Amino acid sequence: MPALRLLLAIALGLLVSACASLPDRVERVGSTALTDTEGTHLGQVLRPELAAHPGTSGIYPLGEAKDAFAARILLAQAAERSLDLQYYIWHGDTTGQLLWEAIWQAAERGVRVRLLLDDANTGGLDPILAALDAHPNIEVRLFNPFANRKFRLADLGDFSRLNRRMHNKSFTGDNQMAIVGGRNVGDEYYGADLNVGFQDLDVLAVGPVVREVSAEFDRYWNNESAYPLASLLGPAPKDGAKLLNENWQKVRQDPKAQRYADAVRQRPLVQQVAERRIAFEWTTAQVLSDDPDKVRFSPERKDLQLRPRLTEVFGNGRRELDLVSPYFVPGLGGADALEKMAARGVKVRVLTNSFQATDVAPVHAGYARYRKQLLESGVKLYELKPGSTDVTSKDEAGRSGGVPGSSGSGGSSSASLHAKTFAVDRSRIFVGSFNLDPRSALLNTEMGVLIDSPALAQRLSGHFDSLIPDYAYQVQLQPDSTRMEWIDRSPAGGETRYTSEPGIGLLQRLWINFLSILPIESML
């Protein structure tokens, strides 16, 4: 019966799709990042260090989930002139509401807020977004939006367009400080969900690279795929502010939210910020991103893509290439490139999710097609075990605060890898939103920061040397080279070998095998 209802809904959506269309004429008032912000509080605080490190950017990794949230809240609270926020997902949960309240309070202080969201995950949020947009200092734009706001299935006839999404993530205050990385906005990204936690990585950046983040934001904000919210929804409701305050009051009264906020306030990073002693690494860094027009033109338009830049940087490694990608579907071309690197003596290691840890089964099926081929060429594969919340949040000595990810919720029952980071020759590292899959390469837009940092790159490689083998299954060929095995090592020194993929029952295995033969790889 549920399947019948779904089919009827899809059929109805297709029938009415012709009735839903985006507005033909949209008034977009162009705007750019503010440049005269050296006199702001952030500018003054950073001035001595920027002067001491001319021409370089300061980078601070945000590996722990609560630190990543604290950094965003503190940046919103410190901003005096502008906040530019760009996200693929912004949930209306505890952390989402707290950040909305923080940017509203900033707007009340006179801060100009530009909020750019991909429209794929905004279902049900129109009243909240409209209320925010109604504030004279806040403007909301939706990237590549759905035309039908109440019945999104009505847009299925426009699937080829809506299948292209903006996956970028950045948070910039006063054009002085920016956060870039893999985290969206939602409880699972910031350690506020005890049931689901994503291991992830962002970097907090200051210096010249921040202006590059702002320039990237401006390109997307002023692009014709970014629609002012008012052009899609019409006049804002008069009681919008009341709705927002009611939501925020509920969060403040929620004991779970209170405990989370207390835990965030107790993070060492908060004290470090208050005492102005964040230990930035000063180095060269640059933003790499897709052109926003990528979503409107053929996936074959390489001049609009980030992928060739990443291939140029990381495909020429001489000694070592370490890849962390939660959604890893290399495709024939990617698998061939990794095989060629391994053939010329480059140590290639990949960490991705196991079936038990992934949140997208079709992606796992897409990845599984390439496992044996990659192993035969010498590529080393690791699959994160379910609940391995410490694999990327500790350094080699077992201390917290490592790279590339976080401990998710700090105790979640279902941890999943979400960090996207690559290191080459223990000298350069990329942190951003790009997955090694066809969707990131060809369909979605992505961004990240390429950092010349032996410290961060070596720390990631060090995790592969010492920590990851204990917290992830190592997949390798059995001695006869005809079958695979999964090695489960424990920090205590024990070892278990599986000759079939751990945690997958018969029906699940049949389902994965079925998905792997479907012609859907280009959408994964």
* Residues designated catalytic: 167, 169, 174, 418, 420, 425
Q: Evaluate whether 449 touches 356 at the Cβ level (below 8 Å).
A: no
For residues 361 and 488, give the distance between their C-alpha atoms in angstroms, rounded to a whole number. Answer: 21
Which 8-state DSSP code applies to residue 464?
I
For residues 435 and 203, give the distance between their C-alpha atoms in angstroms, rounded to a whole number. Answer: 17
Compute the residue count for the chain. 524
- Cα→Cα distances 468→381, 389, 457, Å: 11, 11, 15
Q: Evaluate whether 206 touches 50 at the Cβ level (below 8 Å).
A: yes
Backbone angles phi, psi at 104, to 5 degrees: -65, -45
Phi-psi region of 207 (alpha: psi -120 to 50; beta: other; left: phi over 0): left
Determine whether 302 is exposed, middle or buried from the number of CB atoms within 10 Å of its CB (0-12, 13-18, 19+). exposed
The alpha carbon of residue 506 and the mean position of all alpha carbons in its chain are separated, in whole angstroms, by 32
Among 284, 199, 280, 229, residue whose Cα is nearest residue 471: 199
Which 8-state DSSP code applies to residue 238?
T
Pairing of strands 82-87, 112-118: parallel
Structure tokens belonging to residue 442: 């060809």
Structure tokens belonging to residue 103: 């940017």
Number of Cβ within 10 Å of residue 253's Cβ equals 9
